[in-house]
Chain A
Amino acid sequence: MEHVVIVGNGIAGITAARHIRKNSNKKITIISAESEHFFSRTALMYVYMGHMRFKDLKPYEDHFWSKNRIDLKQAYVEKVDTENKTLLFAEDETMTYDTLILATGSVPATYDWKGLELKGVQGLVSKQDLELLEKNAPNNEVCPKAIIVGGGLIGVELAEMLHTRKIEVTMLVREKGFWSSVLPDPDAQLISEHIKSHHINVLHEEELDKILGDEQGNVKGIRTKSGKEIQCNLVGITTGVKPKIDFLEGSGIATDKGILVNRLLQTNIKNVYAIGDCAQQHEAIGLRKPVEAVWYTGRMMGETVAQTICGNPFEYNPGNWFNSAKFFDIEYQTYGWVFSGKNKKTYEAHFHWKHPDNTKCITIAYHKENREFLGINTFGIRLRHEVLDHWLNTHQSVDAVVQNLDQANFDPEFYRSYFPEIKAAFSTSKQFKNHE
């Protein structure tokens, strides 16, 4: 029987395993060094905040795996011997495979800062990072002050987490607005303001220069590139993630930033596939990035590679881009492409609306010339994925989209609708533009 070995039990690897099981009788083994069972990485924050226990993060009951004949192996893969189709574990064991799926995910990306080795410096990606945080920052007596380097999704999660334990948090954000490498300026500003309203110090246009330690090797502060020194007991590094590929050195599997794959998610070695955060497309698909470290893309690659492995080759051809996040109390959803100031396309125009209470706003991107709807960001308003997906597929005009926004409403029942205000603001902005 063909033995499919999946390295990594995150959403990509697990989705692949489930779909291979649905479509075949192959022997399936999932290897993970991080945890015995699949858990939702995106929910690690809720354990620290006391919303859930770690076991509540597991989407499937423990008996699910044996019932579906999916073997779980807790081990750390140190080397891949592609010639003999063998994995070498740190525990000195080996395992052979017929088909290998690499779904090893990401590790925190760091730069050449001094002091990264100090105690109290950490990222927040793995279960072990969470356990470490529980040691480094159990409360505000052990850890009165924390610095978070980087203004992205993990950074804001870490800020929210530490805030629940009344730890004073300061964030260093390189740009003028929060996550403004991705968000258009008005959206980024709204989020900046909201984070500050939760008593988080946000230092914009500040970058880390070095981390300062004491004699015992504990972190005691940081210095910014502008020369500011700030005292702290914890430094959270949240300047993005990079593919976990170091164990592939010498395996013959071609890598760049990530593991290079074609549209069938195959690497340069036969019967070796890579999916999820660790995979890198030779050429970007559409406007996507070659490496996409997002839950949803991991899942989609898992769904797709399972078909290919089960004898029904399908190219990875994801549909419209979508994503979501939550910044403290503000939910964010995006459908289609809305680019930040820096990455905005020449043809791209934005319509922006913000509620006076500063907790809700939308940005709609459209084509300047033909007025085609390109994408939407919403903050504090929920939209219906299916409807937006349909509008993007059918190339609706921005005018039609604004006119029909009600149809896409996904807020709970009885919620106040902001669509009349949005429509009014849109027609005002149109008149304004016509007069220009």
Chain B
Amino acid sequence: MSRVQRDMALTGQPPAALNVIQKLGTALGVGGLLILVLAVFNLQLPSKTLWLSIALSALFGGIVLFSYGAYSDKQAGIKNDGVWFKSVSSRGFLAWIAGLALTGFYIVLYFKAELLGLNTEGKNFGLIALFDPLSKLLSGNPASQWFVYGTLYTIAILGFGIKFLWKYRHNRYERLRTISVMFFQTAFAFLIPEFMARLNSDDFSLPYYDLKNIWPLNYYNFEQYRVDSFISSGTIGLALLIFGIASIFIITPILTYKYGKRWYCSWVCGCGGLAETAGDSFRHLSDKSEFAWKVERWVVHSVLVFVVVMTTAVVATYLGYDAEKYWLTKDVFLIAVAVFLTVLFGLIWLFKKEELKQDARYGAIGYLVIVLALIGIHFSSGSTLFLIPAESLRTTYGFLIGSIFSGVIGTGFYPIFGNRVWCRFGCPMAAILGLQQRLFSKFRITTNGGQCISCGNCSSYCEMGIDVRAYAQKGENIVRASCVGCGICSAVCPRGVLKLENASTEKRINSREVLLGNDVDLMDYLNQN
């Protein structure tokens, strides 16, 4: 990634400084953070409930106060002044500090939770113990590192969500979308699973389940321990299991067909929620080059193949061989997977081949052949399915994708690579939704005739690194697999050129040679050729 080019700031010192209220807000937030850091070092705080409340209120209040300082005295409108001058949002010193701190936090969280005070044997200590009172209030259980993380995550989405609402107060699409992610995070990701834990008893045990977290984002949803506890939890458990399967195979395709992947990625998803709120100040850092796009296509679809293979292997290991006992045996399952993938591929090839780029065709054929061959080899020679034990696949996926990619790189590097690195390069759910959006959806970003002036605001502020301008300046609609429909390109466009819409699939991609506004005969002549 190239260093920031501050080529116009030859002698200039443009104002990037904070005003008094923003400084107060920063101090308050840092104060809250400091209490948490002290707790990590096991400082004995007299009343955990009190100090936890103080810390969390200070964090939340600090963010809100900062936002008030930033936007309250300004008129409604686009607020990107000085984005490339401020250290934190232009890969300056503060950005690297923030990036390192976040990355360090994720590494500890995923791999060294005992440093935060996790004690599975007895009472928690340190930071995690500080969160015990809140956890007990909600679920009745002591806190874990995931509870601490979930609480901070929710506060970040709520606090920075308010900041975002203020910043885009003139834009109803942005407001509704942000309220939606704030709601889904608080209710579905944070509160409901905790309350569900309250229902558990000795003979009834639902796994932790964030209902909006759909496989394959929730890559562990069909692992044996979860499926077992779903099945053993009666009707509710079974309903949840069926909901989990229906989410990806029925609900997702329907909603994506109607509204594009945005219904999930920028309205519901927790990763998206954090990116859109806490990550908003970093959206312009995404790489817009064609090269980055190419890397994105290969990496994200490879992760998708990886998760399909891993899940297939994991599910296959706990299915039995005896059809008498249960109809779904390992063999039936594997054949079903092979048939499903083949039919899916066949249908896409039959109806949408023209819309696939060459590398997409090679990639799709290549991966399908490999997966089918491996399943075939397993049947013919009896070797380990996919040649690697399912457990190794599972732990490797969990480590590489679930922890390193989504957490450490995905969020830790917000201030360096932008706020959607995980969603763009790593999320297998985004890959599936993207395929649907690209090939079977009514969603597009419409370009308004010939009004584009190639200014580049849309591309700059696209968090997914889509070169929106490349399409808009050709008068072409934007139909891209990766678009999460955040609507910021449309918001920052100074000429009203872009509009997110669900409309007829006819003429969704309207490539044309000459733009609207020129000679009618010339347009007819060239655009029909």
Residues in chain A within 8 A of chain B (CB atoms): 11, 22, 40, 42-43, 46-59, 61, 130-131, 134-135, 138-140, 164-166, 197-198, 295-296, 299-300, 303-304, 307, 314-320, 322, 324-326, 328-329, 331, 333, 382-386, 389, 393, 410-416
CB contacts under 8 Å to A, within B159-182, are 170-173, 176
- B 452-505 contacts with A by CB, 8 A: 453-457, 459-460, 469-470, 473, 487, 490-491, 494-496, 499-501
Considering the chains assembled together, what is the distance between the CA atoms of A140 and B85 in angstroms? Answer: 16
Tell me which residues across on chain A come within 8 A of B133, comparing CB atoms. Answer: none
* Residues in A whose Cβ lies below 8 Å from that of B1: none
| CB proximity of B215 to chain A, nearest CB, Å | 29
Main secondary structure of the interface of B (DSSP, over half): loop
Whether the pair A134, B456 counts as a contact (CB closer than 8 A) is no
- Residue B75 at the A interface, CB < 8 A? yes
Q: Determine if A326 and B495 form an interchain contact, defined as CB atoms under 8 angstroms apart.
A: yes
Output the residue of A52, A307, A316 with the most chain B CB within 10 A: A52
The one of B11, B455, B517 in contact with A318, judged by C-beta atoms closer than 8 angstroms, is B517
Contact among B457, B495, B501, B519 for A319, CB-based, below 8 A: B519
Known contacts A42-B453, A389-B516, A410-B499; is-contact A415 B448 (Cβ 8 Å): no
Determine whether B139 belongs to the interface, using a CB cutoff of 8 Å to chain A.
no
Interface segment, B2-10, B106-114, B309-317?
B2-10
A385 and B455 contacting across the interface, CB-CB below 8 Å: no
Residues in chain B near residue A56, CB distance under 8 A: 456, 459-460
User: How far, in whole Å, are A139 and B76 apart by their CA atoms in the complex?
Assistant: 24
- Is B83 part of the contact surface with A, judged by Cβ < 8 Å? yes
CA–CA, A229 and B446, complex, Å: 50
- The list of the 7 closest CB pairs from A to B, nearest first, reads A385-B449, A329-B77, A138-B12, A382-B496, A43-B455, A50-B82, A326-B494
Min distance, Cβ B178 to any Cβ of chain A, angstroms = 12
8 Å CB contact of B450 from A43, A51, A385: A385
Docked-complex contact B496 and A50, CB < 8 angstroms: no
**In the assembled complex, which residues on chain B have CB atoms less than 8 Å from the CB atom of A412?**
171-173, 487, 490-491, 499-500
Chain B min CB distance to A307 (Å): 7
A329 closest partner in B (C-beta): B77
A314 in contact with B85 given A51-B460, A386-B449 (CB within 8 Å) = no
B427-465, CB < 8 A from A:
446, 448-451, 453-457, 459-460
| Residue pair A139, B519 in contact (C-beta under 8 Å) | no
Chain A residues positioned under 8 Å from B5 (CB to CB): 53-55
B457, A300: Cβ atoms closer than 8 Å:
no
Say whether, besides A300-B518, A304-B522, A324-B495, A139 and B457 are in contact (CB < 8 Å).
no
In chain B between 58 and 109, which residues have their CB closer than 8 angstroms to a CB of chain A?
75-78, 80-86
Interface size on B, residues (CB 8 A): 69
Beta-carbon contact of A384 and B454 below 8 Å: no
User: Is B289 in contact with A61, judged by CB distance below 8 angstroms?
Assistant: yes
Contact A50 B80 (CB under 8 A): yes
| A393 partner residues in chain B, CB cutoff 8 A | 520
Instruction: Confirm or deny: B393 has a beta carbon within 8 angstroms of a beta carbon on chain A.
Output: no
| Cβ of B177 to closest chain A Cβ, rounded Å | 9
Given that A42-B453, A331-B494 are contacting pairs, would A59 and B8 also be in contact in the complex, using a CB cutoff of 8 Å?
no
Q: Which residue of B lies closest to A300 (CB)?
A: B518
B324 CB within 8 Å of chain A: no
Ordered by A's residue number, 22 sampled pairs between the chains whose C-beta atoms are within 8 Å are A11-B454, A42-B454, A43-B455, A48-B14, A49-B81, A52-B456, A61-B290, A138-B13, A166-B15, A295-B453, A296-B450, A296-B451, A296-B517, A300-B517, A315-B519, A318-B518, A319-B518, A329-B75, A331-B494, A385-B450, A410-B446, A410-B448
Q: Which residues of B contact A135 (CB under 8 A)?
A: 10-11
- Per the bound structure, the CA–CA distance linking A412 and B456 in Å amounts to 19
Q: In the assembly, what is the distance between CA of A152 and CA of B457, in Å?
A: 22
Given contacts A43-B456, A324-B495, A413-B173, contact A304 B4 (CB under 8 A): no
Please pick, from B8, B14, B496, the residue contacting A165 in the complex, using a CB distance under 8 A: B14
User: Is the CB of B372 closer than 8 A to any CB of chain A?
Assistant: no
Chain B residue with Cβ nearest A393:
B520
Contact with A along B9-37 (1 / 0, CB 8 A): 11111111000000000000000000000
Is B515 in the interface zone, CB < 8 Å from A? yes
Contacts of A385 in B (CB 8 A): 448-451, 516-517
Residues of A within 8 A of B85 (CB): 50
- Asked if B521 CB lies within 8 Å of chain A CBs, one says yes
**Interchain CB contact (< 8 A) of B470 among A51, A59, A131:** A59
Q: Looking at the complex, which one of B8, B15, B490, B514 makes contact with A134 (CB distance below 8 Å)?
A: B8
Residues of A within 8 A of B78 (CB): 329
Query: B86 — which chain A residues lie within 8 A by C-beta?
Result: 50
Question: What per-residue 1/0 map shows which CB atoms of B277-311 lie under 8 Å from chain A?
Answer: 00000001000011000000000000000000000
Please give, as numbers and ranges, the residues of chain B lying within 8 Å of A47 by CB-CB distance. Answer: 8
Q: Which residues of A lie under 8 Å from residue B523 when comparing CB positions?
A: 319
> Which residue of chain B has the shortest Cβ distance to A331 in the bound complex?
B496
Contact indicator B84/A410 (Cβ below 8 Å): no
- Among B86, B487, B523, B526, max chain A CB count under 10 A is at B526
Asked if residues B172 and A415 are in contact (CB atoms below 8 Å), the reply is yes
Which residues of B are found within 8 Å of A42, using beta-carbon distances? 453-455
Q: How far is the CA of A416 from the CA of B170 in the complex (A)?
A: 11
- Whole-angstrom distance between the Cβ of A73 and the nearest chain B Cβ: 22
Known A-B contacts A51-B84, A382-B448, A413-B173; A139 and B14 likewise in contact (beta carbons under 8 Å): yes
The answer on a CB contact under 8 Å between A139 and B12 is: yes
**Docked pose: A53 CA to B14 CA in angstroms:** 14
Contact status A386-B516, CB under 8 Å: yes
Closest chain A CB from B512 CB (angstroms): 11
> B residues within 8 A CB of A415?
172-173
Interfacial chain A residues near B82, Cβ < 8 Å:
49-50, 164
